[in-house]
A and B are shown apart, each in its own frame.
Chain A
Amino acid sequence: MPFRRLATHHPFATLGFVVVAWLVVPIGLKSFTRASFFELTAPVTVAADYARGLQEYWSLRLHSNHELIVAGRDLARINASYEFAVQQNAELQAGLDRLESLLRLPTYNNYRLEHARVARRDFSGWWQRIVLRKGKNFGLTAGSPVVFSGGVVGRVTEVYATTAVVELISSPNVRLAGIVEGENHVMSYQGGINPTFGPPMGIVELVPLDTFASASSPKRLVTSGFGGVFPPGLTIGSVTKVELSTDGLFKTGEVKLDERLGSLTEVTVLVPLTPE
């Protein structure tokens, strides 16, 4: 009879045993287990992404020749305008280099650009992150900034053999030093608590009292370059609301982030050439 009673409670006993065992397991072993699990599931994630890529490929194949010709023409036009912008940027960069050399300013970090495909998006109220289809195999390092055509994506937080996890700037775990475009006062940007399907938002603190912004007259928030991680001038988002903080020293504000952060397919990792 007692044996039968024990058999009835067997699942609970097992669960309890596992929980207790997990609690007493050393932290090092837990980390190893977690990393191993991630490495184990990484091929599945990558394979699923390849399958999605194949699906997209075949769906694109369904487009007519006419549509492809129109798309090609549009792309050529966009490329032309980008070529022009690249030339202008090169000229501006040369001017900046000359001024920095004259003023003997310290140079910013140099980066190697590593383009990577997004294998998985993981959005919830707890975290906002994506998994890249590149990892140590391409020399990615933890802490590297990640960007896309709309500005800052986030920072690499974990790097595995063939994958890397990027914490998005919409995550409360990402903080960076920003400035309002055209000004030089450094503010603290931090991701907000974002609902799963809501528009990505962030919070900016230490905003000077003479900075004004509203939804109808937003201010572009860009990276300052002073933080030592992100190069200057990358778009973080738009400050759409500022209000006086209770201490009266600064204002705090809301930052509207690029909605494309939720549907990224390709990003660029800025791998520092001289990692600190």
Chain B
Amino acid sequence: MPTSESNPLEHSGSLLESHKGYDPRVIFFYFALAVLLLILAGGLAYQQLFKTETYHERERVQSQRRVLVPGPRGNIYARDGTTILVGNRPRFSVVLYLDELKSEFLREARIIKKNYGKSDMPEATLREMPFSRMSRVSVVQRYLDEVNTIIGRSEKVDAASLARHFGDQLLLPYKLIDDLTGPEYARLIEGLPVRSPLQVYTSSTRFYPFGSSAAHALGFVRVNEELNVEDFPGEDLATFKMKGTVGKDGLEKTFDSQLQGEAGGTIFRVDPAGYKVNPPLEKRLPLQGKNLVSSLDIDLQLAAEQTIGDQVGAAVAIDVATGEVLTLVSKPDYNLTDFSPRVSNTTYAAIQAQGGEFNRALSGLYPPGSTYKILTAIAALRSGAITPDTSIIDCDGFLQKFNHRFVCYNGLGHHHDVLLRQAIAESCDIYFNEAGWLTKPEGLAEEARRFHFDRRTGIELPGETRGMLVPDNAWKERTKNEKWFPGDTANVSMGQGFVLVTPLQMACFTASVARGEVFTQPTLLHQPNRPRQKSESIGLTPEQRAALIEGMEACTLPPKGTARNLTTVEIQRVPGVRIAGKTGTAQVSTKAGMINIAWFICFAPVENPEIAIAVALEGDTPGEDFGGGRNAGPVASAILKKYFEKKNRAAASPFQPAKAN
């Protein structure tokens, strides 16, 4: 066969193209091609064999999503262990799983696009809401209409919130209607098909059966964006979190880690558009947090709160033996239900305006007034400045001393040669001024510090003040650059002037006196067999202590006890119970003028103290007749009556333990 090579001219001008079978010049290109192929194959092998893990990881991160769901918080119980003070209530809502509607959205978008061509809709509308967004609103509204038909509502889709949800939380159910009523949720259970993107969703929210009761002790929770689940894989995956809660005040805050539920989680595979592919790859159910048994007795708490009513102040009742707080009232307060699931700005502003957030029981600083005379008496007795049966002063209603006239505000009838018991019972100012001077200011301050009046009690609640004050010479020189005057000692000896205490401190002090010790550690946690507290002895002889207690008991008895209304007024009487108490009326300066702080501290029964109480109420009008026995006494009386009523009832019942809880 002739070739073009043999005779090139033969086919000159021919249209036939011919190739020779072998050309050495092409070999170079073969090599080049082979090298390129080798590079390609090598690269491919490198990517496939050596970087497998990297790409597998990238694919995993790209195609998997993690959804975290918070666990319900633990309950808070009253000291009986059965009455729920803070629980969880179900919150029913109807939700739509948008990730199951991919094909419906696409179909709807096609229909809208088709109809758009036929309509005269302005282009501006399309710019505001593109077809895809329109289709989502349209489809979701169709599902919402289905719900509306079943429960008889006429809800509309919020396009903006839907767009936000679609963009940020596609895998989470979109809430169509929140907080359904019982009948609505029942109708939806039967009305909605089981296999439907519409579902009735149950979440939990805090439930407060007693509303505002013990609000400051229990505290509230706020929405928490941070939600973590321990030992759950997929930390590197894109994670969608349902909102949890975090304790923001009271026991909810202090024991947040204990009450906090264990979050659950699910890992889904998603398609390139972000839609979920069932079933989930990994799933863990959420678990409820641990329960807490508080020391609060809700019956006593309610009794105290009802008696205080609209007044401003605080009341604390403590179990003498264990220091467990039975009642912790601070008024004004707030309704905890307003915080569940979230408090509105208006309500929160109203709470703040009336000072409802401020916990007066452990942050309210007041001069203790004449209730402090118990400390003065102890200091004077221990220092040897006074004895129970020796007169130190003749009270004529006033005393001229140190170029100053000291008045006995409780001695209008003249106490004369008053002794310790009478001085306590009738709250003789002159007697305690003299006792203070005899004890010296350093002695009074030292005794106050021994009773822990200079420091926080350490109760398990946030926000306890550090502002309590035991004044002495050094403090006055340091802070006011002034000398200490005898008048300062007189003021301190009767709980006026610079002394500042909290109602909780006074309750602890009263419990300590009742036990014959110097400190009571308050606690808000209940332990059924908590051992009796033990601290340093009060340091009085039996005779001295007896005189002190007798004086306190006489305070609640006729004819001249300053809190005799507790035994003479029928409604305040606690039948068959001997009460040792001390009234106090302190004055504080406010913008409106000098107002009174009414104090009453007590413990009962005298022979075997079980409960100690401190009540402090703020007067609201300068110059009004507002005092410890008259105003604070009834609150203590209400607590005592309820306490002994429960105790007697329990003793009468063959199925209950004899001791009141």
Contact = CB atoms under 8 A, between A and B. Distances in A.
B190 A230 contact: yes
B187 A206 contact: no
A139 interface: no
A233 to B, nearest CB: 15
A150 to B, nearest CB: 20
A276 B193 CA distance: 15
Given A174-B194, A176-B190, A226-B187, A247 B150 contact: no
Interface residues of A, number: 22
B71 interface: yes
Contact of A249 (B88, B149, B183, B195): B88
Contacts of A250: 90, 202
B175 to A, nearest CB: 18
Contacts of B187: 177, 226-228
Nearest to B183: A226
Interface string B582-621: 0000000000000000000000000000000000000000
14 contacts: A176-B189, A177-B190, A206-B202, A227-B187, A228-B187, A228-B190, A228-B191, A248-B74, A248-B261, A249-B88, A249-B90, A249-B202, A249-B204, A249-B288
Q: Which 7 A-B pairs have the closest CB atoms?
A: A248-B288, A227-B190, A226-B186, A177-B186, A246-B285, A229-B190, A177-B189
Given A186-B182, A226-B182, A247 B189 contact: no
Interface string A209-249: 00000000000000010111110000000000000001111
Nearest to A175: B194
Interface string B168-211: 00000000000000110111011111110000101010000000
B185 A246 contact: no
B191 A227 contact: yes
Contacts of B186: 177, 186, 224, 226-228
A230 B186 CA distance: 11
Contacts of B149: 276
A227 B88 contact: no
A190 interface: yes
Given A172-B194, A173-B194, A206-B202, A248 B189 contact: no
Given A173-B195, A206-B90, A228-B150, A247 B190 contact: no
A250 B186 CA distance: 16
Contacts, number: 72
Contacts of B204: 247, 249
Among A188, A230, A246, A250: residue with most chain B CB under 10 A: A246
Contacts of B185: 186
A211 to B, nearest CB: 14
Interface string B330-353: 000000000000000000000000
Contacts of A188: 189, 200
Most chain B CB inside 10 Å of its own CB: which residue of A174, A226, A249 = A249
Contacts of A247: 71-72, 202, 204, 285-288
B243 to A, nearest CB: 15
Contacts of A249: 72, 88-90, 202, 204, 288
Contacts of A177: 186-187, 189-190
Interface of B: 71-72, 74, 88-90, 149-150, 182-183, 185-187, 189-195, 200, 202, 204, 261, 264, 285-288
Interface of A: 172-177, 186, 188, 190, 206, 224, 226-230, 246-250, 276
A207 to B, nearest CB: 12
Contact of A229 (B191, B195, B287, B288): B191
A246 to B, nearest CB: 4
B69 to A, nearest CB: 9
A227 B191 CA distance: 7
A190 B194 contact: yes
A60 to B, nearest CB: 39
Contacts of A248: 71-72, 74, 88, 261, 287-288
Nearest to B150: A228
A230 B189 CA distance: 12
Of residues A175, A188, A224, A247, which shows the largest number of chain B Cβ atoms within 10 Å of its Cβ? A247
Contacts of A228: 150, 186-187, 190-191
Contacts of B202: 206, 247, 249-250
A226 B187 CA distance: 6
A229 B74 CA distance: 37
A162 to B, nearest CB: 25
B286 A246 contact: yes
Contacts of A175: 189-190, 192, 194
Given A177-B187, A248-B287, 16 more contacts: A173-B194, A175-B194, A176-B190, A177-B190, A186-B182, A228-B150, A228-B191, A229-B190, A246-B286, A246-B288, A247-B286, A247-B287, A247-B288, A249-B88, A249-B89, A250-B202
A154 to B, nearest CB: 12
Contacts of A174: 194
Contacts of B288: 246-249
Nearest to A179: B186
A70 B119 CA distance: 78
B253 to A, nearest CB: 21
A186 B92 CA distance: 12
Contacts of A176: 189-190
A230 B74 CA distance: 36
Given A172-B194, A206-B90, A226-B183, A246 B287 contact: yes
